[in-house]
Amino acid sequence: MKSSWGLVGLVVLLCAGSWGPVAMAAEPQAVALAKRMAKTSMSLWAVTGPAKDRFQYELGVFLRGIELVYEETHDEKYIDYIKFKVDRFVADNGTINYNSSQLTLDDILTGRLVLTLYEKTKETKYKKAADMLIDQLKVQPRTKEGGFWHKLIYPYQMWLDGLYMAEPFYAEYAKIFHQPSFFNDVAKQFIIMEKRSRDAKTGLLYHGYDESRVQSWADPKTGRSPSFWGRAVGWYFMGLVDTLDFFPVYHPKRAELLAILKRLAVAVEKVQDGKSGLWWQVLDKPKKKGNYLESSASAMFVYSYARGVRKGYLPKKYLKTAKKGYAGIVKNFLVYTSDGGLDYTRIASVGGLGGTPYRNGTFEYYISEPIATNDPKGVGPFMMASIEISHVK
């Protein structure tokens, strides 16, 4: 597949196509909304961006949303856009313009789009680029139990985020290139993370786990961080659903992964806001001053429930949960723009643990971070949720 993208060609492509209300009239509302979101985001990040304009997770989760719009519409402008964005970082010889020595799982996620392009084009450079990411995972530092450190700069720490950043790519690579031994390692990551982060009372997962217990945010007995951050749980939830798409049905660990998914689905449903259908920035503190209904986590949960049911991983009763959540998103978070696009609001711009300045993982920390509009961490999951909810009957 050849791409003739330059700045002029890109602008022409973005201005063309079926963006208008006539073309959308026969579509499900959710698909039309996903296309409007794609229009806005592809215009915002026509050449550079999103965010830090690097080969890392914000690019990956955004392009994953575009990919689902492509799969639904079969409109080549979407896959052309994905190719243009990925090719800004992947050279003709397959090397990726990123710093692999940083050993951060955040840099693995965009590899999913590399695999998509390999499957579509069979260009060798995409196989070589995917191999480069696998080579990073082979040397990624681990806890004593075998769990990936989230980043080299966060020693002995596992974060929920990392399960979405690495595992779906790891599993898809294993399936495409016939590496069955990888699946044991993929399963291990989810199993360890649930074991170390799950709260027995609520069933929810704490954001992080420090094996060394040296971080001030870590409980001295359990190593857990103190809060249930919505988007972190969303990353894990989506990561598990997406990984199961590639996980062999005969694998002895598949049943354990499905059991983890079902436990998590129960816990997340219990903290869904009864009135709006949405989820809170800190999941278990709905009435605490400063907490707010947050849009990226809400989209992630809707996507996970809807896709989980559609794929047969979750009981059909969760369609009600997904529909209620999506209705809340449409009512509370969308702003329609005069050019036929869409703004997605109320996105927590960031959330982490440790670092400089130090993030202590408390309720007060999570509600103190800025709230953004059209952040890729919300835009991508919204498109994903929209496409999945359109399949709900």
Spot the catalytic one: 106, 107, 161, 242: 161
For domain 7-389, say whether CATH 3.30.565.10 is its number. no
Q: Does residue 107 have an active-site annotation?
A: no
0.85 exceeded by pTM: yes
Could you tell me the residue ranges of all domains in the chain? 7-389
Can you give the pLDDT at residue 259? 99
Q: Which residues on neighbouring strands pair with residue 229, listed in sequence order? A: 282
pLDDT digit string, tens, across residues 158-208 = 999 999 999 999 999 999 999 999 999 999 999 999 999 999 999 999 999
Can you give the pLDDT at residue 26? 56
Q: What residues of the chain score a pLDDT lower than 50?
A: 1-25
